[in-house]
Amino acid sequence: MIVVFSPLLRVNLMYRLLPLLLAVSAFNAHAASPADHFDYQHQSEWHAVHDAFQSPVDIRTADTVAPDGDEPDVIRSQYGEVKATAVDTGHALQVNVPGGDVKIRGRHFTLRQFHFHAHSEHTIDGRWYPAEVHLVHIAKDGRMAVIGVMLVPGDANPVLDSVLKAARKGEAHEVPGVIIPGKLLPRSDVYYHYLGSLTTPPLTENVEWYVLKQPITASPEQLDALRGFYADNFRQPQPLEGRVVTQFDPALLKK
C-alpha cells in the first residue's frame, strides 16, 4: 500500500516533529562540543518549551500496566563491535559510536552515543541506583529512543573498563580497540516504557524511554571512577502528569 501525504498533512507533520528535529541537531552539535551552559545545582531554573511529559520519572511498579494490542514489543539489539570515542561533555562521560542497530517495538533505530549518570536519574519504587547508562538512538525520521540501564556494584563491566581507560577530564580520546555496546544490556528483556523528554536542556519531549528492569554490574572501582568524573549529574524525578508506564515482560506472553 502506498500512502501519499497531502500538503497540509505534511506541514502539520513537520510542525509536530520540528522540536524533536531541532533537538537532534542540538544533540549532534553537543556530541562534537563539550561546552554546555547549565549545571545540576541550578536545575530548578531549567525551562522546557513544553513541560507536560518530562523525564526522568519515578517508576512505581504497582502502577505499571501491560502493553495493549499485538504490537511487537521486544527490544532486539544488533550491536556489533564498533570503534568509539570517550568524550567529557562538561556534564557527563559520553561515548560516541558510529552506529549499531536496534529494533524497538517494530521500529528501527541507530545507536549514536551512550553516557553515564551517577547516581541514576530514574528511580524504581523510589529507589535510586549508583549509576545509570543511557543509550541514545535516533530513527531516520528523527524520532529518539533512549534505553536506560541501572548499574549496581558487582563484577566489572568490560565496556566501562575500556571507556574509563580512554577517558580524560575535559578531553576526547579514542577508545582502544573496539567495544560491544550490547554488553551494557542485561540478560532480561523486561522493561518499563513511557513517553518523556531529554533529561538535560533543551528538555525536548516526545522521547521514547525504555528503562530496563534488570541492572547490570560494575565494579566498585568503576563506579567510583564514574563519580570521579561527575558526581550528582542527575536530574530529579519529574511528575508523571497522568502518563501511564507500561511494563513489558516476554515471559507473560508465553502464558
User: Could you tell me what percent of the chain has a pLDDT over 70?
Assistant: 83
Q: What is the pTM of this model?
A: 0.85
pLDDT of the residue at 29: 37
Domain ranges of the chain: 7-253
Q: Does the active-site annotation cover 91?
A: yes
pLDDT of the residue at 28: 46
pLDDT at residue 8 is higher than 60: no
Which position among 91, 117, 137, 193 bears the catalytic label? 91
The predicted-structure confidence for 125-134, as pLDDT tens digits, reads as follows 999 999 999 9
Give the CATH superfamily of 7-253: Alpha carbonic anhydrase (3.10.200.10)
pLDDT of the residue at 18: 41
pLDDT of the residue at 105: 81
Environment class of residue 26 by beta-carbon count within 10 Å: exposed (0-12), middle (13-18) or buried (19+)? middle
pLDDT of the residue at 48: 82
**Mean pLDDT value of segment 231-243:** 96
Backbone phi and psi for residue 28, each to the nearest 5 degrees, phi listed first: -65, -45
pLDDT of the residue at 50: 74
pLDDT of the residue at 86: 98
pLDDT at residue 62 is higher than 80: yes
Distances in Å between the alpha carbon of 195 and those of 106, 144, 209, 241, 243? 16, 11, 6, 11, 8
pLDDT at residue 72 is higher than 70: no
